[in-house]
Chain A
């Protein structure tokens, strides 16, 4: 083979010009008559796609979605510092929304939109609002007797559970639980629990789903995850071996949310507000409850039958917005060897 740099350079330059030209043309054509909305979504297409389609059909607005994981998208929004194509950020967890809000990147939401959702499921600053709720649970496998199940996650540090527990310390929901524990029970209790879990040989996984799968495969007996991961699997397979238990004590059933915020830099705020309303409509809330088995947050929609109603879950009354001290939680988790 004879390699000709000059030809190759020419080819590369041509390619670049074509690419750049195409890109610019792309920018131009997107600004046509139909309004468009750009969404950064930490929730994946199979869950959120149908809800978006409903909104598009009802509003005539065209929605473009960039999918990613919520923390990465939050980091991306932070680096963009307002120079973002995004109009709306739909995050999997309150922590990511909180991080973006604290950087001053979110616009205030209209009061009547905020009012759709109970106070503890939206930001104190009024710049993001919860869309769906999920409860922390102890998931357990077939080898566990129901009588054996603890009333509190704090009991999982007992010798009885040694080597049988799985958790996901890098996961936002678990970190939110630790933050809540620090707030409500105090720093010492949280530290003692983390140390106890590590000493009790709790197995770390990279997320809720791997914990659930490890229980299903018998690698561990119980795990700390969110309720709907099991609900999802159980919907597909009635004989699914993993069940959930809502621990009544020590914030064991803490409810966390996915939610949305509108970017302050958005030039399509009217459409963006319409989108947020659509996500909090009866139609969308019913869809989320039925398809991904999450808790609807508006009062007019009931949760799916197989779930314990939100008001019956012994959940502590905590402002999710106060769960913002994530750096402190991470520091504690590192010091105790949990991370």
Chain B
């Protein structure tokens, strides 16, 4: 994530720098790269700019809307939820990552894929499944009825939202963490072990510190996702900031109020990013030498294999088997009443097209942002990186309306075209690609790049031949994350897609607004099927190399 802070420590700037130097950093980035960064930064600042313009249009109303006890209470509640979800996601992801990368856990590749898949389940579907399956009078209660259970405890409210958001976002920590574990030089651990440290000590004192950037980056993504989510909190009836923004828009008159609340959310996000950067400052994370590209010998679990398997099994059961089971159960009911395959295939094709294009565009933009912020840390490059998170922390409807606002004013021919939708999805999910690329870049020693420069290669050639191959895992992971989110995105797709461009997500929406949650099962399963192959490749890649 905010790799700039960490890299700044390793920078060579003098304390008394000129203003320009302070702004542009000790190492001046190549002009072309900086120009690209400016373009990306401007694009990803559009949602925040839209909010600012709207709020300035009626500053009085905005101030009135925001300066209330309610805003403070909502901010506290939402931050509490975000923190709890992030902590739980880390607690789930760290053991999963270690077991699937570093241990001899049976079937670890399959576990890795299965454990990542919950990311594809849209939060509103996941929440609904949990409510109807595990709710007071749900499927589970029905199943337990013969045993005399009349009603299960309610899962609405904070803990319901916490559970659902944790289960469907922990892969955001798991994916970068697995990549980081694979990139880590095993010789450090071996040295520690040779010097007599026990495995647990080695993990705590050698492995864990190296994983902090990946964990932090993932945790920030999870926390910001929890802040931005609407589907799960609304179904779980948890009053969050985002829900309030939606309510304001729903009233039809609350445009300024919604924008003001959105701006507060962006400010909260900046504060969170600053804190996260502080926590991770002052670390050098790459090894001093190039190291040798090899994979650590897997740790033998021995009889610990069984609890490990039980842990993986439990997580996969709750996060994947239960929701998928319910979806399959529903879809069999649906299949019995007849179902058209043709339109669904067309929708799946549309989903795939938009998501793949958005993932590609976001990955390219993310490489620019990550290289700038890690290798050329400065006020400007950090601003470019952080402003990108605004598009991610804001609910989809805000991002969509921002693009409605700007495109109808300055780019009318592009309005409601596929290109604009792809653009919207790319800026909405850009940080999902920046984070893993940034963290993997942190583990690449800059000396390698410096040496190549010293040998006469151009910056572009260095980027292409040295940096990019070394961060390929991060690029791949980031691209996959954007893809997996873009394919289930709803509000922006509804507002910005060309008329008649139906996706699996809009189909799910159509069914659920009609109250046919069962009918949404088939497109939801189709989403999972599309997402499975990239996830499988992702989890295979590192293990094989």
Contacts and interface: CB of A to CB of B under 8 A. Distances in A.
A330 B244 CA distance: 11
Contacts of B367: 5
A76 interface: yes
Interface string B334-352: 0000000000000000000
Interface in A290-339: 326-327, 330, 334, 339
A172 B235 contact: no
B491 A3 contact: no
A102 B412 CA distance: 24
B388 to A, nearest CB: 18
B284 interface: no
Interface string B253-287: 11100000000000000000000000000000000
A45 interface: yes
Contacts of A66: 416, 499
A203 B412 CA distance: 44
B360 interface: yes
Contacts of A5: 364, 367, 463-464, 468
Interface stretch (B95-103, B111-119, B321-329, B469-477): B469-477
A71 B248 CA distance: 10
Interface in A5-32: 5-6, 8-9, 11-12, 15-16, 19-20, 22-24, 26-27
A15 B357 contact: yes
Contacts of B409: 83
A305 to B, nearest CB: 23
Contacts of B414: 20, 23
Given A12-B364, A22-B418, A76-B401, A3 B472 contact: yes
Nearest to A21: B419
A15 to B, nearest CB: 6
A8 B514 contact: no
A44 B514 contact: yes
B252 A71 contact: yes
B197 interface: no
B288 interface: no
Nearest to A82: B408
B472 to A, nearest CB: 5
Nearest to A329: B251
Interface residues of A, number: 67
Contacts of A330: 247-248, 251, 254
Given A79-B408, A327-B253, A19 B499 contact: no
A281 interface: no
A74 B253 CA distance: 9
Contacts of B419: 16, 19-20, 23
Size range of the chain B interface in the assembly: 35 or more
A80 B250 contact: no
Given A5-B463, A5-B468, A12-B360, A23 B418 contact: yes
Contact of A69 (B253, B418, B513): B513
B360 A68 contact: no
B541 interface: yes
Interface in A103-150: none
Given A46-B514, A80-B404, A85-B416, A96 B70 contact: no
Interface stretch (A153-161, A180-188, A205-213, A247-255): A205-213
Q: Give the top 10 A-B pairs by smallest Cβ distance, nearest first.
A: A99-B252, A23-B417, A209-B515, A83-B408, A71-B250, A19-B419, A79-B404, A217-B137, A79-B405, A64-B499
Given A3-B469, A5-B367, A65-B500, 9 more contacts: A23-B417, A26-B498, A67-B510, A71-B251, A72-B491, A85-B415, A99-B251, A205-B237, A330-B248
22 contacts: A3-B469, A5-B367, A5-B468, A8-B363, A15-B357, A16-B419, A23-B413, A23-B414, A45-B510, A66-B416, A68-B495, A69-B513, A71-B252, A72-B249, A79-B408, A80-B404, A85-B499, A95-B251, A99-B253, A233-B515, A326-B251, A326-B252
Interface of B: 70, 135-138, 234-235, 237, 243, 246-255, 357, 360-361, 363-364, 367, 397, 400-401, 404-405, 408-409, 412-419, 422, 463-464, 468-469, 472, 475-476, 491, 494-495, 498-500, 506, 510, 513-515, 541
